Every structure is written in C-alpha cells, then in structure tokens.
Structure 1
Amino acid sequence: MTELKVDATLENLTRVLDFVEEKLEMCNCSMKTIMQIQIAVEEIYVNIASYAYKEKKGEAIVKIETDEEPPQVSLTFEDYGEPYNPLLKEDPDITLSAEERDIGGLGIYLVKKSMDKVEYEYRDGKNIFTIKKNLG
C-alpha cells in the first residue's frame, strides 16, 4: 500500500490526481479505468477539501493498494474532519431535468455507479471512505 498525506485544500487536487494516476499506470490499467477512477478521486477529494474541516485546516490521506487476484485497485480516503457518510444521501432522480433536481448528490452517485464497491466508516475519530474497482 502506498499513501499520500496532504493538506486538505483544493490547491492539492492536482497532486492527489497525479499520485493516483502514477500508481494506476504502474499496474497497466486501461485509460478508461484510469479516467473512471480519476473522476471518483476528484469528487471524493474535493468534498473533503471543501467540507470536512469547515473553516479549519486539516489533512487528507489517500491510500492506494492493488491486488493481482482478482485484479483490482482499492483507494482509501481518510480525514479527521466532521463525521459525514455521503452514502446515506439519497440518490438523485436522474429522470428529472437539471433544473428540477435538488442541488448536490450527483457526484457521489456517479462514484457509486462507476466503482465496483464503495464503503464508508467513521472510526477512531476519522472518516474512512474506500472505493474499489475491478481491473479484470
């Protein structure tokens, strides 16, 4: 497992995305899979940077692990911010037009639809959000 610790700021988004992309390229992920994972990473990290610590400064930890059998990648995001489980938010009604839909929730919905497994837990004073994508 490899990890990156950064200040949870929007300015560090590129650093997080580069870190993830570098690791995914090392395990010969397809470009389509890399793009799907990068979109999920951006959504999750931006939520941490924007909301986890409110007005305070805090840290975000991104961990990435790959398995060969079955071939998959697992990314875990940790922060010590306000407890928040985005998976409890009701999925948006995508049959409605953008004007008719409530604001928010579409990003995490896309994460849930594009990843093979999405988990959240609050443990030891931290939010732990994990996404997994099968590579086979």
Structure 2
Amino acid sequence: MRSELAAVPILGNAVAAWCERHLLALKENFQLNLVIEELVTNVIVHGWHGNSEGHIRLTLSCSTLGIELELSDDGPPFNPLRYPAPNLNTSLAELPVGGLGIHLVRSLTTRGSYRRQDGKNVLCLCKPFSVLSD
C-alpha cells in the first residue's frame, strides 16, 4: 500500500477478512488490527511525515506460534523494538507525547525482530491467537 492514512481503513477491512478466513476469534481480529493500525500509522505519520510517496507491505501467516506478521516500509531507518518503554508509574499529564502505541504493540505481541534490508525497515512480530470454537 502507499503511505496514505486513507488506506488504513481499507487495510483494516482486508485484515478482518483474513482473520475470518482463518477462523480467528473476534478478539484476535481486533487486537491484530490494533497492532497493524498503530504500526502503519506510525510509518505514515512519523516515517514519511504524511508524504504518500512511501510504500508499506504487510504479510500475514499462521503458524503454531500464532499470527506471524511482517511489515516492511521504505521509510527512514527506525526500530520500534528499541524504542524506550514509557514510564507507566507516572500521571497521564506527565507522560511524554508518543510511545504508548509502540508499548501497546509490544504488549499484544510475544516476540519480534527488526532488520534493515535493501533500504527497507522489516519488522516481524508474532501475535498469539485463539481459533473459534464450534
């Protein structure tokens, strides 16, 4: 997809359809969409500063570990896994702007890796999942 905020809801619909095809529970659909929306929005707003010239690629697959997510973009180098965790033992008014979305992504995924390859950021994450019961 192009790095445009208008494409985020379209991506969300595609992810929801993917979750339905793989019989994932609504909770997994919601959490996966939350993770993807946060990551993609960060790339668009902070990486490309709203410029729609960038490209983002998302690949999803299921494994025994959960949902495997690979997100790549051709924005400036940024490893969200190295972004410092916010101090949650402070008041909301004292929290700095930014960083809570990355914290949310980390809390909803179990493992991750980052690499810079061929001028692209490549982030791989795993999201545990539940399958719908009969």
Gaps of 5+ in 1: 1-5
SS of residue matched to 1:135: coil
Q: Choose the corresponding residue for 1:11, options 6, 9, 12.
A: 6
| Residues in 1 aligned to 2:129 and 2:55: alpha-carbon distance in whole angstroms | 29
For 1:36, the equivalent position in structure 2 comes to 31
AA of the residue aligned to 1:87: L
User: Once the 2 structures are TM-superposed, how far is the Cα of residue 52 of structure 1 from its aligned partner?
Assistant: 2.1
Spell out the pairing of 1:95-106 with structure 2 (5 A cutoff). 95-106=89-100
**Cα deviation digits, residues 22-73 of structure 1 (max 9, x gap):** 1111111111111111111110010111122344611111111122xx1521
Identity value in percent:
25
Q: Tell me if structure 1 keeps the 8 A contact 2:2–2:54.
A: yes
TM-score by length of 2: 0.89
Q: Following superposition, which runs of at least 4 residues in structure 1 exceed 3 angstroms of deviation?
A: none
Q: As a proportion of its length, which structure holds more strand?
A: 1
TM-score by length of 1: 0.87
Q: Choose the corresponding residue for 2:125, options 117, 126, 131.
A: 131
For 1:61, the equivalent position in structure 2 comes to 57
AA of the residue aligned to 2:124: T
CA RMSD of aligned residues (A): 1.5
Q: Quick one: structure 1 residues 39 and 56, their matched pair in 2 at CA, closer, same or farther if it must change by over 3 Å?
A: closer
